[in-house]
Amino acid sequence: MTRVTEESAEKWNKARDAFLDGIRRALGKPPGGGPAPVGLFDTPPADMDAQLAAIRNRTPEARRALLAELIDRGAAVDLHVVPVADTADAARAIRKIVADSAPEWGDEKHVAVWDHPVVNSLDLVSVLGADGVPVTVAVLDEAADPAIERVRLRKAIEASFIGITGADFVAAHTATIIARTRPGQARSVSLVPAIHIAVVTIDQVAADLGEVYTRLQWDPAVADEGLTHCMTFISAPSKTGDIELVMVHGAHGPREVHLLIIDKK
């Protein structure tokens, strides 16, 4: 462990200030900085109530227009956007994906899911269990040893070829799934398995990231919780073209991403 002394802290602070002053000079600003203008980040714009009302009261036609844009933008980046009528249809769609997909290694199929209201409503433990597919819910057993439980859960997620999560928002303009992590909703469920399935309701589809940030900052229904320790932005499958400019999916995350939209409004 490195011991932080007053001398080393002062040296680090001087290096930090020199670095920031270099940025200020490049921007034509005076050195030393200063406090942010009062109200710049803590006072909502004058029309914020109107903006939030417009988001909350979006008509069914406007929601479906956003859904159509999301489907179109998703297709361009290999994000499979699938509208479904209700939770029963969502469960059937997931059951079909699990049945039609093969693990990358071995023949046994394992699935990991979030402990999330929308995901829980699908009753996937029973639905997939009927096909002999074990489902791990990403929750630590509080009665067990925490260290042992973390290892158990990590191994179960690593063994899963499909991870199923909810999300907080979906930005239609960029086909981006936005999810805050919480207890029972680990980022690893969306990152480690080869296939990621996210399930949301149509009212969670936002127009763009600006609308998402507006809600995170000013919508009481969202802002009260604040930002969790991690917020993940997922725009389609993991991909890279680093080697000989050949596009490869699944290099740093899932090779396949499905987004199920429950049309409950």
> Three-state secondary structure along the chain?
CCCCCHHHHHHHHHHHHHHHHHHHHHCCCCCCCCCCCCCCCCCCCCCHHHHHHHHHCCCHHHHHHHHHHHHHHHHHCCEEEEEECCHHHHHHHHHHHHHHCCCCCCCCCCEEECCCHHHHCCCHHHHHHCCCCCEEECCCCCCCCHHHHHHHHHHHHHCCCEEEECCCEEECCCCEEEEECECCECCHHHHCCCEEEEEEEHHHEECCHHHHHHHHHHCHHHHCCCCCCCEEEECCCCEECCCCCCCEECCCCCCEEEEEEECCC
- CA nearest neighbour of 79 among 205, 257, 208, 250: 257
Residues 135, 125 contacting (CB under 8 angstroms): yes
Residues 110, 159 contacting (CB under 8 angstroms): yes
Q: Return the amino acid letter for 157.
A: I
Phi first, then psi: what are they for 83, rounded to 5°?
Answer: -70, 135
Residues 132, 107 contacting (CB under 8 angstroms): no
CB 198: neighbour CB atoms within 10 A?
A: 25
- Residue 240's pLDDT is 74
- Residue 120's pLDDT is 97
- Write down the domain spans for the chain: 60-262
Q: What CATH fold (topology level) applies to the domain 60-262?
A: Rossmann fold (3.40.50)
**pLDDT tens digit sequence for 165-200:** 999 999 999 999 999 989 899 999 999 999 999 999
pLDDT tens digits for the chain (265 residues)? 345 567 777 887 888 888 888 888 888 888 877 665 555 556 777 888 898 999 999 999 999 999 999 999 999 999 999 999 999 999 999 999 999 999 988 889 999 999 999 999 999 999 999 999 999 999 998 888 999 999 999 999 999 999 999 999 999 999 999 999 898 999 999 999 999 999 999 999 999 999 999 998 888 888 878 777 889 999 888 777 777 777 776 677 799 999 999 997 5
What is the reported pTM? 0.82
